[in-house]
């Protein structure tokens, strides 16, 4: 992946927004995993992240208990996240907006009426290096294995994303 594909201002903290449908499974899991990786690499002051959902139905709710259970199995803890919907100003405020599936990406691009955020709206699986999934599947109606698959897929993609950002910071 070329650095100019997602050019960012690396002089200020780089801001990443993870987006799924309701912000209770995939995007908060991505935020939790990514923040853990950023903290372990001591990049807290240089990279910030948040998560949001395309719908506001779950506004103020914590992540799904099954997702938290799967995250806990892989060593992650919930820092008290609460669901929120994507806001129009998110498209301006974040340097990279990472959608979990095609529908999320399509809806984000529809929100971008003037096309100014188009280059920074990207699929999560673009950064995966060990999984062939083209989308992060929504585990909500599935079983425990589905949640665990999402955690492993997000670990891979978050690692790839962090590697991309580090190259941007140290060309």
36-79: per-residue pLDDT in tens? Answer: 999 999 999 999 999 999 999 999 999 999 999 999 999 999 88
Residues serving a catalytic function are: 20, 26, 138
**Beta carbons within 10 angstroms of residue 26's beta carbon:** 34
Q: How far is CA 61 from the centre of its chain?
A: 18
Q: Is 18 helix (H, G, I), strand (E, B) or coil?
A: strand
pTM of the predicted model, to two decimals? 0.94
**Is the domain defined by 26-169 classed in CATH 3.40.50.2300?**
yes
Q: Is 97 helix (H, G, I), strand (E, B) or coil?
A: strand
**Residue 170 confidence class, pLDDT cut points 50, 70, 90:** confident
* pLDDT at residue number 137: 98
95-145: per-residue pLDDT in tens? Answer: 999 999 999 999 999 999 988 899 999 999 999 999 999 999 999 999 999
Interatomic CA distance for residues 166 and 171, integer angstroms? 8
Backbone angles phi, psi at 113, to 5 degrees: -60, -35
- How many CA atoms lie less than 13 Å away from 70 in the CB half-sphere? 27
In which residue are the tokens 């998560």 written? 51
**Beta carbons within 10 angstroms of residue 137's beta carbon:** 16
Q: How far is CA 84 from the centre of its chain?
A: 14
In which residue are the tokens 């950064």 written? 127
Interatomic CA distance for residues 140 and 104, integer angstroms? 15
């Amino acid at each position: 992946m070329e650095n100019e594909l997602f050019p960012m201002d690396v002089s200020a903290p780089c801001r990443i927004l993870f987006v799924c449908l309701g912000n209770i499974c995939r995007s908060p899991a991505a935020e939790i995993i990514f923040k853990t990786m950023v903290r372990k690499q001591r990049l807290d002051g240089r990279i910030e992240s948040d998560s949001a959902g395309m719908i506001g139905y779950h506004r103020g709710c914590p992540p799904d208990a099954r997702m938290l259970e799967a995250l806990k199995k892989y060593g992650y803890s919930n820092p008290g996240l609460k669901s929120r919907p994507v806001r129009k100003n998110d498209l301006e405020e974040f340097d990279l907006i990472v959608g979990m599936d095609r529908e999320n990406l399509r809806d984000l691009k529809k929100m971008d009426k003037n096309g100014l955020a188009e280059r920074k709206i990207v699929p999560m699986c673009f950064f995966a290096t060990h999984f062939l999934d083209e989308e992060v599947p929504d585990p909500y109606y599935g079983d425990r294995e589905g949640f665990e698959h999402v955690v492993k897929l997000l670990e891979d993609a978050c690692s790839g994303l962090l590697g991309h950002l580090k190259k941007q910071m140290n060309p």
